[in-house]
Amino acid sequence: MSATSTTTGSATANVARHHQGTLLRDTPIIAHRNLLRVVRQPQIAIFVVIQPIMFVLLFRYVFGNAIPIPGFDYVQYLMPGIIVQTLVFGSAVTAIGITEDLKAGIIDRFRALPMASGAVMSGRVIADMAINTVSLVVMVAVGYAVGFRVTTSVWEAALAVALLAGLAMAFSWISAVIGLAVKEPEAAQSAGFIWLFPLTFVSSVFVPTAGMPAPLRYFAEHVNPVTHVANAARALTVDGYLCGTQVCTNPWPEVWWSLVWIVGITAVFLPLSIRMWRNLT
Amino acid sequence: MAIEATGLVKHFDETTALAGLDLHVPTGTVLGMLGPNGAGKTTAVRILATLLRPDAGSARVAGIDVLDEPARVRSRIGLTGQFAAVDEHLTGHENVVMIGRLAGLDKSSARERAADLLARFELADAADRPARNYSGGMRRRLDLAASLTTSPEVVFLDEPTTGLDPASRLGLWDVIREVVAHGTTVLLTTQYLEEADVLADEILVIDHGREIARGTANQLKADVGGETVTVEIVDDARMDDAHAALATVTRDEVFVDRARSRLSFPAHGDSSRLAATVRALDDADIAVADLAMRRPSLDDVFLSLTGRTASDAADGSDDPPGGDARNDPNGATDTESIDA
């Protein structure tokens, strides 16, 4: 070791002796690391870009003609819904990423560092939100190519995007808890399907809820946060959504329900995931 | 004392990983914790590195209580785990920079420090390649570089060379020696007796979560007994003839190891027995592959303490040692060989 690196060594030692990480400082470091990982793995790009394009085209041209939506052109009805569906499914990557880290042993390294204990989770969720944002941009672009048009103001459309991002984040925190609970990437993958499929299909995402059997319809219309966000997004981008068999145009009830769910889910699952992280062995 | 632990106990369901372990590592020294798989080495390291809470007992690392103030302990330790904990999609440089940043360095110091460390560990040329393209030895060196980013006072090396080929192990030993030369306190766990012998100031032998012996390598070897005269013959069909020949040289029992065509008997500090052995074997016309006065290896120590060799005890280990201490003629066993 040269004289210069010895100096650097003792200097770094002095910094490190007194360091305690903060969430604000460590979260971007972890998010940056996670995004570097994504950029280096082309198969993830397929998941982020190709899959949304495929879904839009399939639903637009295969199902679109078979599913009549009263009062709507199907592409206008479909696009906000399919964006919600893609973002919700995208939250599964949080669980998979966490389990991969657990398996690779790098989690031990993080836990033995003087970093903020929530940063590995928050950095992961923020990186996943960035990835989801890319999916969102791709879908809006493809949507425009197949006839989708935003008919409201910029501000309403921006609020729709904020709600979508909020839902993606809230579901990422659920996914983080699942990842920490199951610990294996394969298990995280199948666990994701168990809750994500019912939530997205028993909702207003693809079809009107009016045709569903009563219990499912009740769940889809009044409980499921995916419906609330999809309806809010529709009201805020295409100026209306289906309430029962009617077309409703007032976005605010669905916006408020969406916010309640986003805040509620985050308030439960964010602290829970950080607690589970601290109790890892 | 850089590391001080008393009465560490840890149970996992039915199994007892630690059954009351004490540890004392003076500042600037290397403690080699030696034991087979499942002896409790990793559990002890995980407790001291604040990753795991013990069921009973207390520990201080760098003078700080690991249970009361784990966050402060973390700013003073480096941990290199059993499986190189590097991000394989990041480059070597990115890995070390990330750890430096998380340990409190600003961007430019983290980069400078990473460049220094990578150069020191002969990874400068590979610094900008993703770690997944690294060999096993390179990954361990990168892992070690990452844990030294902040010049920690105490470094835990949990089986740093498990699964490496012999050449990579020797390379990593050099790196570890250099770390030690700079005054860092090291707790090294290993299944390789040779490794503890080469690197550690003091050796703690553990089995089933408790101490079974403690001392310098020389003290442990002395406990087992003195030097032996050890002969390895060329033609194993002549083991019985060789046995008979050696019986004329010593009154002690001759230990016969047919698997390795090896015979040995106590030398009782009398090196003239070497010459007598050469004559006896020559008279019987037995070709000799190796003849040496041999001090007992740590494997002999383990055998005498537990009734098993360390390699038997570690059976089921998924990574068999690249160079088994007993089979390695250039290993750490002290020998005074003469050409036969």
| Measured distance CA(A187)–CA(A191) in Å, rounded | 6
Confidence of residue B309 (pLDDT cuts 50, 70, 90): low
Instruction: Measure the CA–CA gap between A178 and A187, rounded to whole angstroms.
Output: 9
| Minimum CA–CA partner of B64 in chain A | A17
Does residue B328 surpass a pLDDT of 70?
no
- What is the predicted pLDDT for the residue at B312? 61
Q: Quick one: DSSP state of residue B254?
A: P
ipTM (interface pTM): 0.88
User: B203, B221, B239: which is the final residue of a domain?
Assistant: B221
For residue B314, is pLDDT > 80? no
Q: Which range, of A72-81, B149-158, B182-191, B301-310, averages the lowest pLDDT?
A: B301-310
Q: pTM of whole model > 0.80?
A: yes
CB atoms B71 and A4 under 8 Å: no
Chain Cα centroid distance, residue B175:
14
Residues B114, B235, single domain; the answer is no
Same domain, yes or no, for B151 and B286? no
Min Cα distance B50 → chain A (Å) is 7
pLDDT per position as a tens digit, A108-165 = 899 999 999 889 999 999 999 999 999 999 999 999 999 999 999 999 999 999 999 9
Judgement on whether residues B166 and B276 belong to the same structural domain of the protein: no
The answer to whether B51 and A112 have CB atoms below 8 angstroms apart is: yes
Sequential DSSP letters for chain A: --HHHHHHHHHHHHHHHT----HHHHHHHHHHHHHHHHHH-HHHHIIIIIHHHHHHHHIIIIITTT---TTS-HHHHHHHHHHHHHHHHHTHHHHHHHHHHHHHTHHHHHHTSS--TTHHHHHHHHHHHHHHHHHHHHHHHHHHHTT----S-HHHHHHHHHHHHHHHHHHHHHHHHHHHHH-SHHHHHHHHHHHHHHHHHSSTTTS-GGGS-HHHHHIIIII-HHHHHHHHHHHHHTS-EEETTEEE---HHHHHHHHHHHHHHHHHHHHHHHHHHHT--
Q: Which of B162, B197, B221 is the last residue of a domain?
A: B221
Q: Is B182 on the interface with A (CB under 8 A)?
A: yes
Residues B201 and B240 in one domain: no
Query: Within 10 A of A54 (CB to CB), how many other CB atoms are there?
Result: 12
Q: Judge if B45 and B16 occupy the same domain.
A: yes
Q: Are residues B140 and B233 in the same domain?
A: no
**B180 interfacial to chain A (CB closer than 8 Å):** no
Pair B9, B105 in one domain: yes
Domain that holds residue B328: 226-338
If asked whether residues B131 and B234 sit together in one domain, one would say no
- pLDDT the model gives residue B311: 57
Q: Which of A6, A14, A15 to mutate to test the interface with B (most CBs of B within 10 A)?
A: A15
Q: Which residues of A touch B72 (CB under 8 A)?
A: 114
Do both B232 and B216 map to the same domain? no
Give the pLDDT score at B55: 96
Q: Which residue of A has its CA nearest to B132?
A: A40
pLDDT of residue A6: 44
Q: Indicate whether B52 and B86 sit together in one domain.
A: yes
| Closest Cα in chain B, distance from residue A183 (Å) | 17
Size of interface A-B (CB pairs under 8 A): 125
Amino acid in the structure at residue A145:
A
Q: Per residue in B244-286, pLDDT tens?
A: 999 888 888 888 888 878 888 888 777 788 888 999 999 999 9
Residue B71 Cα, gap to closest chain A Cα (Å): 6
State the pLDDT at residue B337.
36
Say if residue B147 is in the same domain as residue B211: yes
For position B92, what pLDDT does the model report?
Answer: 96
Residues B176 and B267 in one domain: no
CA distance A137 to chain B (A): 26
Return the CATH number at B301. 3.30.70
Which amino acid is present at B63?
G
| pLDDT at residue A4, rounded to an integer | 42
Residue B262 phi/psi, 5° resolution?
-125, 140
Mean pLDDT for A56-68 is 84
Residues of A with CB under 8 A from a CB of B: 1-2, 4-6, 8-13, 15-21, 26, 29-30, 33, 36-37, 40-41, 104-106, 108-115, 280-281
CB pair distance less than 8 Å for A37 and B89: yes
Question: How many domains is chain B built from?
Answer: 2
d(CA B188, CA B330): 22
Residue B305's pLDDT band, with cuts at 50, 70 and 90, is: confident
Please check whether residue A273 is in contact with residue A180, taking contact to mean a CB–CB distance below 8 angstroms.
yes
Highest mean pLDDT among B53-57, B239-243, B326-330: B53-57
Which CATH number is B7's domain given? 3.40.50.300
Contacts of B163 in chain A (CB under 8 A): none
Query: Which of B175, B194, B221 represents a domain boundary (last residue)?
Result: B221
Name the residue of chain B whose CA is nearest to A10's CA. Answer: B151
